[in-house]
């Protein structure tokens, strides 16, 4: 099914929903079905909006009196539309099992920059996703997985027949993996590999280390030596199933591992795994900054990573103060307002810079 | 919204999503064709960020409200945020602009042409619904058809009009009409 077939199918489904909705209140199960359908693809959303426009055009149309409605009442030209396909019979995009969880986690708020819609949605095979300072992106991949990319990150995608592979070259990203046992989802960072089948986890490629945090399901983490030799392999060299290799480290939901860059060739010990509040640890993925006794200078550096407006601390005493709290990454002003609650901070603006003193 | 009287509930049901729909269609920043996919992409992302249980309460209301919000937000944001939106902003000219009314005539013509490609039965039902304002059930009675077949014929008609109406036009159709 190519893109235009898919779109046509989507508009038929949208038309069907429009009519069902127009006929009266939908049952709860129907509304659930409608929500799931909308959340399956931006194309569905677009077609629903277009069908609304078609209806509006018909409501506004001035020439109805001249429209000839005579003619045979047979339905020869009216081909019956198939019933709305059930979700399991639709091959288009696998539905992720954990959307519901995610909608909660990624609660509204973050300002996202959005890529061109359709091409992106259908077209990522081997590609690079790169974000600038202040730019966050949510990218829907061809397999139904979704990646939330933090600012100043770079990912290279290599989706092959038997593997879905992503190289996190720098920065960090949160992966919500669509389940596909036949095609493991691999994220590589500095030689370390995180392997997942259908789960959600964050990977951060930082200056000193690689941090993997699991929100849902489980993943296997391996150091450099177990990197996969070829695309035909479904797992490690010896085709051991996920997380069975001795060097592998199995992480479950709520666990995190930090691997120093220099030693990521060494076997990972179970002792390097710690229990974390994954929602808090991955706050960055929904555009929040969590500070726990951070200095203002450190906090400012974090804000600058997310915004075009750059903060600069011109008074060392302010820079050394510590702050704790949760902030909207795209809103440095509220951070400044917070600072001003117990000290006088003078803010001078010059161009895209805000100087605190 | 749990009224005991089903009739009141039905009215509420329509009112609650028809008004966001009107806002989406008639907002000062009615969405142009080239932006519709972009708007849909952003709406899609917002839908993903909401609780499913919340959306299920009244999905259409959320859908159209988000769509009109996105359109409005993009219109007030700086050009940097949405580099190609300038063309449709400049397209929002006043109602008595001659060029604009010419394009409205074109819209009429285009819609007429599209309607005429449909089967007589489809045209009859569309006219009863969109011109005479009959509900599906009333159309069924008038034409001695089953409600099911009315719905089927209308569904087919909308999908087919959607394919026939020129893409650019679908975006422009409502611009500047209010």
Interface confidence (ipTM) of the complex: 0.80
pLDDT at residue A45, as a whole number: 93
How do the pLDDT tens digits run along chain A, 357 residues long? 567 788 888 999 999 999 998 888 788 999 999 999 999 888 899 999 999 989 988 988 888 888 888 876 654 333 333 333 333 333 333 333 333 333 333 332 232 333 333 233 333 334 778 888 877 788 877 777 888 888 889 998 888 778 888 999 889 999 988 877 778 889 988 888 888 866 888 898 887 888 899 888 888 888 765 444 333 333 333 233 343 455 678 888 888 988 887 655 556 677 778 888 888 888 887 778 888 888 899 899 888 888 888 899 988 888 888 888 888 888 888 888 888 877 778 888 887 888 888
On chain B, the residues whose CB falls within 8 A of the CB of A67 are: 112, 115-116, 123, 127
Please state, in angstroms and as integers, the Cα–Cα distance from residue B124 to each residue in A142, A232, B116, B119, B153, following that order: 42, 59, 11, 9, 10
Supply φ then ψ for residue A171, to 5 degrees: 85, -155
Q: How far apart are CA A174 and CA A211, in angstroms?
A: 11
Q: Do A19 and B122 count as a contact with CB atoms less than 8 A apart?
A: no
Determine the distance in angstroms separating the CA of A356 from the nearest CA of chain B, rounded to an integer: 25
Put simply, the answer to whether B42 touches A114 (Cβ < 8 Å) is: yes
Contact criterion met (CB below 8 Å) for B173 and B24: no
In three-state secondary structure terms, A222 is strand
**Residues A13, B158: Cα–Cα separation, whole Å:** 10
| Partner-chain contact B155 A8, CB within 8 Å | no
| Residues in chain B, pLDDT under 50 | 1-3, 78-102, 172-178
Interface touch A49/B31, C-beta < 8 Å: yes
Q: Is A324 helix (H, G, I), strand (E, B) or coil?
A: strand
**Do the Cβ atoms of B156 and A15 come within 8 Å?**
yes
Tokens 């081909």 — which residue?
Answer: A79
**Cβ neighbours for A54, distance < 8 A, ≥ 6 positions apart:** B158, B161, B162, B165, B170
In terms of Cα–Cα distance, which of B69, B57, B43, B61 is closest to A43?
B43
Tell which of B116, B158, B161 to mutate to test the A interface (max A CBs under 10 Å): B158
Decide if A67 and B42 are in contact by the 8 Å CB cutoff: no
Beta strands in B33-97 (DSSP E): none
Contacts of B24 in chain A (CB under 8 A): 49, 52
CA A203 to CA A201: how far, in whole Å? 7
Residue B53 near residue A103 (C-beta atoms within 8 A)? no
Distance of CA A354 to the CA centre of its chain: 31
Helix intervals (H) in chain A:
3-22, 28-38, 42-60, 99-105, 117-123, 278-281, 296-306, 316-320, 332-339
Count CB atoms within 10 A of the CB of residue A89: 6
Instruction: Using alpha carbons, select from B28, B18, B29, B32 the residue that is nearest to residue B65.
Output: B18
A167 φ, ψ to 5°?
-100, 120
- C-alpha A60: how far from its chain's center? 39
For B156, which of A61, A79, A114 is closest by C-beta distance? A79
Residue A170, beta-bridge partner list:
A154
d(CA A53, CA A4): 19
Name which of B153, B87, B90 is nearest B126 in CA terms.
Answer: B153
Neighbours of A344 (CB within 10 A): 8
For residue B45, give the nearest of A287, A88, A117 by alpha carbon: A117
The CA distance from A135 to A308, in Å, is 9
B interface test, pick of A4, A5, A22, A50 with most B CB neighbours within 10 Å? A50
Rg (CA), chain B: 19
Q: Which residues of B touch A5 (CB under 8 A)?
A: none
Q: Which of B37, B106, B178 to mutate to test the interface with A (most CBs of A within 10 A)?
A: B37
B10 with A66: Cβ contact below 8 A:
no
The shortest C-alpha distance from B90 to chain A (Å) reads: 21
> In angstroms, rounded to a whole number, what is the distance separating the alpha carbons of residues A281 and A78?
56
Judge if pTM exceeds 0.80: no
Q: Report chain B residues whose CB lies below 8 A from the CB of A62.
A: 108
């Amino acid at each position: 099914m190519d893109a235009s077939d898919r779109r046509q199918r989507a508009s038929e489904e949208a038309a069907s929903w429009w009519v069902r909705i127009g006929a009266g209140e939908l049952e709860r199960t129907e509304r659930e079905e409608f929500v799931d359908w909308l959340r399956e693809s931006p194309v569905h959303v677009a077609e629903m909006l277009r069908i609304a426009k078609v209806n509006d055009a018909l409501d506004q149309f001035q020439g109805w009196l001249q429209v000839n409605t005579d003619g045979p009442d047979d339905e020869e030209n009216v081909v019956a539309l198939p019933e709305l396909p059930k979700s399991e019979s639709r091959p288009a995009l696998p539905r992720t099992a954990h959307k519901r969880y995610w909608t909660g986690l990624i609660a509204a708020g973050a300002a996202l920059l959005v890529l061109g819609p359709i091409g992106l949605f259908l077209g990522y095979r081997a590609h690079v996703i790169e974000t600038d300072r202040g730019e966050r992106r949510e990218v829907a991949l061809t397999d139904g997985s979704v990646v939330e990319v933090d600012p100043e990150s770079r990912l290279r995608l290599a989706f092959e027949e038997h593997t879905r592979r992503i190289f996190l070259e720098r920065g960090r990203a949160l992966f919500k993996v669509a389940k596909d046992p036949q095609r493991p989802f691999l994220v590589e960072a500095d030689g370390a590999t995180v392997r997942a089948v259908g789960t959600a986890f964050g990977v951060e490629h930082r200056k000193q280390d690689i941090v993997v945090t699991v929100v849902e399901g489980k993943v296997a983490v391996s150091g450099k030596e177990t990197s996969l030799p070829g695309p035909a392999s479904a797992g490690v060299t010896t085709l051991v199933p996920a997380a069975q290799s001795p060097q592998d480290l199995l992480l479950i939901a709520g666990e995190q591992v930090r691997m120093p860059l220099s030693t990521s060739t060494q076997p990972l010990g179970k002792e390097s795994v710690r229990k974390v509040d994954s929602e808090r640890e991955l706050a960055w993925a929904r555009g929040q900054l969590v500070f726990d006794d951070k200095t203002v200078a450190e906090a400012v550096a974090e804000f600058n990573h997310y915004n075009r407006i750059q903060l600069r601390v011109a008074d060392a005493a302010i820079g050394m103060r510590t702050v704790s709290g949760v902030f909207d990454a795209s809103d440095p002003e509220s951070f400044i307002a917070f600072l001003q609650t117990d000290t006088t901070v003078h803010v001078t603006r010059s161009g895209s810079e805000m100087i605190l003193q | 919204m749990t009224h005991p009287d089903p009739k009141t509930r039905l009215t509420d049901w329509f009112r609650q999503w028809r008004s966001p729909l009107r806002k989406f269609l008639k907002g000062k920043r009615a969405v142009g064709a080239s932006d519709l996919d972009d708007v849909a992409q952003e709406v899609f992302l917002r839908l993903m960020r909401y609780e499913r249980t919340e959306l299920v309460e009244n999905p259409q209301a959320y859908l159209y409200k988000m769509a009109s919000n996105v359109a409005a937000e993009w219109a007030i944001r700086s050009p940097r945020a949405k580099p190609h939106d300038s063309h449709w902003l400049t397209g929002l000219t006043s109602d008595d602009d001659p060029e604009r009314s010419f394009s409205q005539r074109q819209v009429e013509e285009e819609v007429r042409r599209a309607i005429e490609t449909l089967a007589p039965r489809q045209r009859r039902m569309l006219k009863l619904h969109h011109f005479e304002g009959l509900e599906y059930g009333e159309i069924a009675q008038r034409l001695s058809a089953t409600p099911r077949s009315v719905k089927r014929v209308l569904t087919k008609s909308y999908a087919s009009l959607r394919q026939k109406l020129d893409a650019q036009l679908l975006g422009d159709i409502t611009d500047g009409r209010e």
